A and B are shown apart, each in its own frame.
Chain A
């Protein structure tokens, strides 16, 4: 009996650790989705396909398929490309954002299909290998098997999310973002340019998406649907956070990572997508305003 419990615990902690690592990546994707939704009330369904296109661009720029550049330059170029794409998408849908958020949301599905089509057109439907120059080592710590990949993901996630939270909480730009998210009329009355703050969210989200995509690819392979599938988990993380809370998305991402890992190991690897959809449904019913929802609002 105690041996059985010991074995479960021996499995449990490594599963939770690796789930947390993957969850950090889901959180990066979710934070982008939530930033866009908070500022412009649009659910960006093109997020995964655009990030996937950017991952393919990095592959293309660094493997000789398009160019033969160093990895760092390839990432930089892909980032510039993805910022330009975010700018373009927002420029096209911004008139819709002020008329109907639903129409704007549906139009993002179209941009997702365009990004997927462009990926297929340029890179084909083959699976490719995109390797990252991350430190290759492993060590055992308190029974956990920790790899260089784990620590890289953790470091990148902490720095990226920490920087984002700092900007949102303590800078003038962050105040503008929060004001537009909560009360766009008040922001407009104060003379803010709503479009430029929306654009800030779209660009930051695009960059977060590429970072997440780049770090998830080494655990699998790169195909035209890899990153879009990864974004489904990010979407679930955003739902758990109530689609309106940046800290909620972080918690949601880590929770999804851990729960998915536990389900895959203890229950079934085949039904993980079903489990994910059940989690989304549960979250919508149990925490409709997000797991970190709190009381607030105007008193008078």
Chain B
């Protein structure tokens, strides 16, 4: 399996003293889904933003074997690293279709049209609302739009930050059904930040447990197939923080 992303010794600071991420290392292979699991404040989103180039960081980030730490966010998008942020961050007063155009901003017009149709096929819930303002969509539909916008840029690595946040269980299931379909049909690598372990287990290959900005352990999905093993790992790594 080819390595798509390799992160080593990643640290993120806010201001001069607050350290959000400390010496984090992990790798993501071609077509692999890696979940970062941890309580609020564990540093998950900071890691995602650092990989996307949205915040400064220290350490080495290799994408497709090449160092990208010095590249601005827009260059990383052009190379295929797409961040789907927590809280959707769609452009509320633009239509669904315009949000998708924004996602595929760097593509040639013909490719953008083809990908728009592909994304709308993948998410029929928003296809019949393509000309509707994004703020009029339901929470689940907005999340689908956010993921669809991420897919517009022909990503090689999708950084999905809490796609289930604020959604009803039925909508969470629907969003993860789509992610499972994407996973089956492409070799897209995904780094998933998720607090809903049951859902992330449906699609992920490997989990890294985070606490206080550090990776404190990891398990493969196969290790955690059994409910008891899963609970044991959660208790061991995250303890009360996760249970809360």
Tell me the complex Cα distance, A300–B84, Å.
Answer: 17
Provide the residues of chain A in CB contact with B77, threshold 8 Å. 189-191
Within 8 A of A (CB), among B118-140: 133, 135-139
Residue-wise, chain A 112-136 has the 8 Å CB interface mask toward B (1 for contact) of 0000000000000000000000000
- Pairwise interchain contact B102-A179, C-beta atoms closer than 8 A: yes
Given contact pairs A175-B101, A176-B102, A298-B135, A192 touches B91 in the complex (Cβ within 8 A): no
A-B contacts at CB below 8 angstroms, number: 86
Of the residues A175, A187, A191, contact of B78 by C-beta under 8 Å: A191
Q: Give the interface of A toward B (CB within 8 A).
A: 172, 175-176, 178-179, 182-183, 185-193, 296-300
Pair A192/B105 contact, Cβ less than 8 Å: yes
**Residue from B84, B85, B92, B149 in contact with A298 in the complex, judged by beta carbons closer than 8 Å:** B92
Given contacts A191-B78, A300-B138, is CB(A172)–CB(B105) below 8 Å? yes
| B52 A189 Cβ-Cβ under 8 A | yes
Can you list 13 contacts pairing A with B, beta carbon distance less than 8 Å? A175-B102, A175-B105, A179-B102, A185-B85, A186-B85, A188-B74, A189-B73, A189-B82, A189-B89, A190-B105, A191-B105, A193-B74, A296-B93
Please measure, in the bound complex, the distance between the C-alpha atom of A156 and the C-alpha atom of B85, giving whole angstroms.
43
Q: Chain B, 217-240, contact with A by CB distance < 8 Å: what is the 0/1 string?
A: 000000000000000000000000
- Cα distance, A40 to B160, chains bound together (Å): 28
Q: Are B105 and A189 in contact (CB under 8 A)?
A: no
Q: Quote the shortest CB–CB distance from B223 to chain A (angstroms).
A: 33
User: Are A191 and B153 within 8 A (Cβ)?
Assistant: yes
| Interface residues as binary, B2-14 with A (CB distance below 8 Å gives 1, 0 otherwise) | 0000000000000
Establish whether residues A178 and B135, one from each chain, have CB atoms under 8 Å apart when the complex forms.
no
Closest to A300 in B: B139
B92 touching A176, Cβ below 8 Å = no
Does the CB pair B94–A178 fall under 8 Å? yes
CB distance from A69 to the nearest CB of B (A): 40
Chain B's nearest CB lies how many Å from the CB of A82? 28
Given known A-B contacts A299-B138, A300-B142, A186 and B166 have beta carbons under 8 A apart:
no
Residue of A nearest to B94 (CB): A178
Least distance between A158 CB and chain B CB atoms (Å): 25
Give chain A residues whose Cβ lies under 8 Å from the Cβ of B106: 191
**Bound complex: CA A34 to CA B82 (Å):** 31
With the chains together, A193 CA to B136 CA distance in Å?
A: 28
- On whether the beta carbons of A183 and B52 are closer than 8 Å, the reply is no
Q: How large is the interface on B (under 10, 10 to 19, 20 to 34, 35 or more residues)?
A: 20 to 34
B90-126, CB < 8 A from A: 90-94, 98, 101-103, 105-106
B7 CB to nearest chain A CB (Å): 19
Closest to A196 in B: B74
- The reply to whether B91 and A179 form a contact with Cβ atoms under 8 Å apart is yes
> Given A182-B91, A186-B91, A300-B88, list of 16 further CB < 8 A pairs?
A175-B101, A183-B89, A185-B89, A186-B102, A187-B91, A189-B89, A191-B74, A191-B78, A192-B105, A297-B93, A297-B135, A298-B90, A298-B92, A299-B137, A300-B142, A300-B166
B70 is an interface residue with CB less than 8 A from chain A: no
Q: How far is the CB of A299 from chain B (nearest CB, A)?
A: 6
User: Which of chain A's residues have a CB closer than 8 A to the CB of B101?
Assistant: 172, 175
Q: Which residues of B contact A300 (CB under 8 A)?
A: 88, 138-139, 142, 166
B104 and chain A: residue at smallest CB distance? A190
Of the candidates A175, A176, A190, A299, the one having the most CB atoms from chain B within 10 angstroms of its own CB is: A190
Q: How far is the CB of A115 from chain B (nearest CB, A)?
A: 32
Is B54 in the interface zone, CB < 8 Å from A?
yes
- Give the residue among B105, B135, B137 with the most A Cβ atoms within 10 A: B105
Are the C-beta atoms of A189 and B83 separated by less than 8 Å? yes
B85 to chain A, nearest CB (A): 6
Known contacts A190-B102, A190-B149, A191-B78: A175-B94 contact under CB 8 Å: yes
Could you tell me the distance between the alpha carbons of A192 and B104 in the complex, rounded to whole angstroms?
10
Residues of chain A within 8 A of B142, CB atoms compared: 298-300
8 Å CB interface, B145-170 against A? 149, 153, 166
Contact A188 B73 (CB under 8 A): yes
Check A297 against B74 for contact (C-beta < 8 Å). no
Min distance, Cβ A168 to any Cβ of chain B, angstroms: 12
In the complex the two chains form, what is the Cα distance from A163 to B88 in whole Å? 32
Q: Which residue of A lies closest to B139 (CB)?
A: A300
Instruction: Say which residue of B92, B153, B166 sits within 8 Å of A297 (CB atoms).
Output: B92
- Report yes or no: A299 in contact with B136, Cβ–Cβ below 8 A: yes
Output the nearest chain A residue to B142 by Cβ-Cβ distance. Answer: A300
Docked CA distance A297–B78 (Å): 29
Residues of A within 8 A of B153 (CB): 190-191
Contacts of A183 in B (CB 8 A): 89-92
State the Cβ distance, B144 to closest chain A Cβ, in Å.
Answer: 13
Given contacts A175-B101, A192-B105, contact A186 B93 (CB under 8 A): no
Q: Which residues from chain B contact A178 at a C-beta distance below 8 Å?
A: 91, 93-94, 98
